[in-house]
Chain A
Amino acid sequence: MEQMVDDSLEDAFQHRIDAEVKIEPRDWMPERYRASLVRQIAQHAHSEIIGMQPEGNWITRAPSLRRKAILLAKVQDEAGHGLYLYSAAETLGVDREALVDMLQTGRQKYSSIFNYPTLSWADVGSIGWLVDGAAITNQLALTHTSYGPYARAMVKICREESFHQRQGFELLWHLSHGTEAQHEMAQESVNRWWWPSLMMFGPPDHSSPNSEQSMRWGIKRVSNDELRRRFVDMTVPQARALGVLLPDPELRWNESTGHHDFGPINWDEFHRVVGGDGPCNAERLTRRRRAHEEGEWVREAARSWATRHVPARIEAA
């Protein structure tokens, strides 16, 4: 009986999705839909939070006050993105601290792009141009995701991302058109970030096990390979304008498909980094845990204030 009720509810739910009607927090939804959303939104949030570290490394060493102010604002935006997303995840009935705990104990993942090091100032440019560029491609598609709060968070984030990408492009443009050494620095950085950026879209469609159900539920709207193709098509002319080469000898325009062909991606490297064996996995998590622990006295003070000054009916949530 229980099962029959669930089946008819699930049919109604799927109809709603197919009719492009958004799902809102208190609507009935299949448990697997809820769980899969929580996992995806949390991982997205964690990526924004961990994503502050590689660029944050360069704030104190930014070459000018202008660049420093820009970088501060960008990193602060990423913190904001993380918080919008945790807020969206909480509408699904999970506790924010539980999610933070999942990140810090390694039970939930974040985008493996942030396990690569930022070795030169040019990397701040490459991250803005390529990494944020890839993120925008992915997030633009997600503005049409089926869960209302997630879609709304994406709209807000996309509005802010375009500054991120443009400041990165501009930074690289100045290096690329500067001295020979600066140009070399820009090129070397792009060489390192290009392939990991392509990996950000995830495994190829034929080996992406969760994608199909995710598409059926309207959580994912565009496939990994299609997003990757969009990103490559968008980026090639930008690289030309920048005066840098993308490090792929097989990259070329394909007249018959109307898209660029590109060389094979090293999926072994991808799986290795996702699995924890990237250049900076341990460093990123250690730093996150330490920041959390060092902030404990602030949270403690806030909690103690809350218990004394906030009416009891406004329960701690």
Chain B
Amino acid sequence: MTQSSGLPLWEIFVRSRRGMSHIHVGSLHAADWEMAVQNARDLYTRRGEGVSIWAVAATEIHASDPDDKGPLFDPPADKVYRHPTFYEVPEDLKL
């Protein structure tokens, strides 16, 4: 059996319509970015799900460590004054 791995993995992001951000939809293998975008069109936008595609080489993505969740994301939790509900204002005002 021929081992035909060897094509880079690309993560695909699709903008569903103008005014929206690109959102991650999945991945695919392709020889280069052009082929990645073309394959992504066939694979992820068969029903007009998108108006723009990003293909990002999977090896180029740098992610935070899920185990860092505490130290990395905890600080905002005790800064409750960052939320509007922290403040008391007269109830009948639109504020």
Contacts and interface: CB of A to CB of B under 8 A. Distances in A.
A28 interface: yes
B46 A96 contact: no
A153 interface: yes
Contacts of B43: 80, 83-84
Given A104-B1, A299-B7, A315-B8, A310 B59 contact: no
A272 to B, nearest CB: 27
B40 to A, nearest CB: 11
Interface residues of A, number: 41
A255 interface: no
Interface in A4-27: 24, 26-27
A306 interface: yes
Interface in B1-33: 1-9, 25-33
Interface string A272-287: 0000000000000000
A316 B30 CA distance: 10
Interface residues of B, number: 31
Contacts of A91: 27
Interface string A65-86: 0000000010011001001100
A305 B33 CA distance: 12
Nearest to B34: A309
B63 interface: yes
B51 interface: no
A309 B60 contact: no
Contact of A97 (B4, B25, B66): B4
A303 B31 contact: yes
A212 interface: no
B46 A306 contact: no
A112 interface: no
B67 A90 contact: no
A94 to B, nearest CB: 11
A1 interface: no
A287 to B, nearest CB: 16
A101 B31 contact: no
A303 B7 contact: yes
Contacts of B57: 310, 314
B28 A306 contact: no
Interface string A87-126: 1101100011110010011000000000000000000000
The 10 closest A-B pairs by CB, nearest first: A317-B9, A302-B31, A97-B5, A306-B31, A314-B57, A87-B26, A316-B6, A299-B4, A305-B31, A87-B27
